[in-house]
A and B are shown apart, each in its own frame.
Chain A
């Protein structure tokens, strides 16, 4: 998985690409560190470029959700499609994470 970061005043948008899976755990601390940016209110994960996510990847999204919540930041998943949408739906994480369809 690769990611690019776009920052505006209160929003951090992260464009994910490739596959988010169990071998990507080393990237998670870097994503969590982005939440420490002062003044951030919204943290958007744009998943348009993501082609695959496994159960470990979904676990990483939920860790990000917990970390964001602890900082009063709203995490939003955006542009889910294909196999990524299937996995997210199967995992039913829409109950705890905001998803923009």
Chain B
């Protein structure tokens, strides 16, 4: 497991982490905790416009889109977190991401489900791994597909709670689309987090994808999928293309490992 603490991060099933706020500024309490955790000055970590601060160990985003995330990655910080709108800074600010250990060869990205859906996170993460010299063009395709599948599972089956079997019933695809729209329209569901934690050595890359859904029994996953089945191939792809895949935390964490 390479000491992947991200896999023990999620809170209770279906619960939002006691995360905090913010639209236009990072609350002082969060800034203080970031500063304490990562050993930077509060002034540096407590940023309203996080992208303007070069000294911070963390980049905290009030909102995230593709360009903002690329800009945040460009700061070469370990931690990139999109804050949620809930709690307005009054709740307990004891966010799990503060426990993610900063490592030199790695980064941690935490997004809300509403943002992660449709953002092509796997492309963004692989772009960043390429920019940091971790992924070669030859390795990238397989890593991107595996990561995409892990993220898609985390979003759809994890945080949105839509069972894979939905598509197997007659006209199930119409029900699946309806459920997607309904769940994405639920503000509380949209704010569940997708965490991606990448770290690497000279010859190995590990990526953990963590959701806040109800989990599943990984032991019950079939080793193969009927060639005509409408679902269930994500793990087939990951098993075929990754050196190792490990599911922990009751199905809420998928750890992918690749040779470099």
Contact = CB atoms under 8 A, between A and B. Distances in A.
Q: Among A54, A59, A66, which residue has the most Cβ atoms of chain B within 10 A?
A: A59
A59 B149 contact: no
Nearest to A83: B141
A84 B19 CA distance: 39
B152 A96 contact: no
Contact of A62 (B156, B180, B230, B237): B230
Contacts of B118: 23
Interface string A7-32: 00000000000010111011011001
Interface string B213-250: 00000000000010111111110110011000000000
**In which size bucket is the chain B interface?**
20 to 34
The B interface is mostly helix, strand or loop, or mixed, namely: helix
Contact of A55 (B120, B141, B228, B236): B236
B167 A22 contact: no
Interface stretch (B28-36, B94-102, B170-178, B186-194): B170-178
Interface of A: 19, 21-23, 25-26, 28-29, 32, 52, 54-56, 58-60, 62-63, 65-66, 83, 86-87, 90-93, 95-96
Given A21-B148, A63-B173, A95-B227, 18 more contacts: A22-B152, A28-B177, A29-B173, A29-B177, A54-B148, A54-B149, A54-B152, A55-B149, A55-B152, A56-B156, A59-B231, A62-B228, A66-B228, A86-B141, A90-B233, A90-B236, A90-B237, A92-B227
Interface of B: 117-118, 120, 141, 145, 148-149, 152, 155-156, 167, 173-174, 176-177, 180-181, 225, 227-234, 236-237, 240-241
